[in-house]
Amino acid sequence: MSLRISALEYVQEVQNGNISAEDYVSKTIEQINNVDENLHAFLQINSEAIDNARQIDKKIKSGKNVGACFGMPISIKDNICIKDSKTTCASNMLENFIAPYDATVISKLKQQDAIFVGKTNLDEFAMGLTTEFSAFGPSRNPWNLDYVPGGSSGGSAVSVSAFECLASLGSDTGGSVRNPASFCGVVGFKPTYGLISRFGLISYANSIEQIGPIARTVKDTAFILNMIAGLDPNDNTTIDNSNQDYLLGIDSGIEGKKIGIIKEMIGEGIDSAVMSATKNAISKFQGLGAVCEEVSLDMVKYSVAAYYTITATEAGSNLARYDNLRYGYDFPVEGYEFNSYISKARRKFGPEVTRRMILGGFVPSSGHAGKYFLKALKVKQKLTQEIDQLFKKYDFLIAPTVPVLPFKIGEKIDDPVALFLVDINTVTANLTGKPAISVPFEISNGLPIGIQIFANSNDDKSLLQAARALESTVKLPEVPI
């Protein structure tokens, strides 16, 4: 039995009695034991995974109702709470934090008999795009171990790419699902804002972030979305998707659709291999019967600045709770007055989180708010107006997910601004609330390139159809792991 199947193939094989959940999960754990020492996708492995699989096999044998996952092994980014397990956000601050409840996405997947094989590595509190800011060491790209896997959901993308699970959940505040998916050659989906409940996701920037699936195929992505999307009384920002079936009609194609190529996302600084992949993707879309033309989204040039201003402000407020009085680590209070205690306790945060908190205290402060925070909100509003205008004329917009190829571990770590700029093509979807997906498209010099497709709010289903159409034109080499 090979691990190299899709999630939907797994379900089929288990249903047909060709494989058992226990076999597949045991093999998955074996794979993790073999490859994860090098890859470091996981922060914790669920020691009960094989037992859980055995229980599901029993349920199947006894003819009881079994959930749609049939014991499928899934990995979870370590900023999503699973009751009674550690949820560290890859931070020393939460090193020993045990989540007291399940995130809504976790309860939904449990109901469908998914098995959580482990918690995956990320940049501390999801701030970053390489996983190098994890307090517990970076993850590595399975296509080339010297390279970053992207981030912040780097561990999730690595685990899917290296057959350490069948699918994963990440979170995407400014690209953290799509960026690592692109760098690791897998599919990453950021839904319309509100489509997936954020209850139980440890907040970074609530007003724009979403949990999103990472999978090996577009169909698997739709399958996971079917199980986790929809209204949640615990998250007031969720939207009613009327139990939409995202798999149904996924092969409908994109004949006659109008696609805009975002000019500002293929401009200055784009790698020539990424540019050539984008041109090839445009030809594929045309071959599928779509009409493609270049469009302009002028505010993109201010999007990264606006994104970091808004997210730092929200992060500053969200992270204020980590004062080591309510959650935290063992650090006695004796000998300190209140302020000096808290500032000392907060030194547990790593450099990137500290940078964001300092920025987040400054940009919305009185005397500066008009110049920075309020201006950033105006950019967000204007960008949304511009993209809404485009969606009156176009069904989809496209751009490369990331303008550059994966780079070497350590290469950009000391240059935060260079890192911020890598987000130029992903933050727009978050700032405007639109759904966007990264589809693995080409391998250049052994490193993956993803193509990103955007759709209008609540058009997640047709977005998945477009992604499936593009995917059907692609045959990538096997990941060398």
Q: Which residues bind ligand GLN (CB under 6 A)?
A: 126-129, 152, 171-176, 204, 311, 423
**How far apart (Å, rounded) are the C-alpha atoms in residues 317 and 254?**
43
CA distance linking residue 212 with residue 166, whole number of Å = 15
Complex with ligand GLN: residue 149 or 175, whichever CB lies closer: 175
CB of 251 to ligand GLN, least distance (A): 30
Q: Helices in 68-202 by DSSP H: which ranges?
A: 104-111, 154-161, 178-184
Q: Which residue is nearest to ligand GLN (CB)?
A: 176
CB 66 within 8 A of CB 59: yes
183: nearest Cα among 472, 473, 412? 412
Nearer to ligand GLN, 119 or 461 (CB): 119
- Distance between CA 293 and CA 395 in Å, rounded? 12
Min dist CB 425 to ligand GLN, Å, is 12
* CB closer to ligand GLN out of 133 and 394: 133
Q: Toward ligand GLN, which CB reaches closer, 102 or 314?
A: 314
CA distance 114 to 75: 10
For the sheet with 115-120, list strands across it: 42-45, 115-120, 73-77, 167-172, 210-215, 187-190, 436-444, 447-455, 396-400, 258-262, 291-295
DSSP β-ladder status, 258-262 and 396-400: parallel
Closest CA to 131 of 148, 156, 146: 148
* Least separation in angstroms between CB 30 and ligand GLN: 31
As measured in angstroms, the least distance from the Cβ of 167 to ligand GLN is 19
Instruction: Specify the residue, 204 or 394, whose C-beta has the smaller distance to ligand GLN.
Output: 204
Provide the annotated active-site residues: 77, 152, 176
In whole angstroms, the minimum distance from the beta carbon of 347 to ligand GLN comes to 21
Tokens 């300092």, residue located: 358
CA-to-CA distance for 137 and 64, rounded, in angstroms? 43
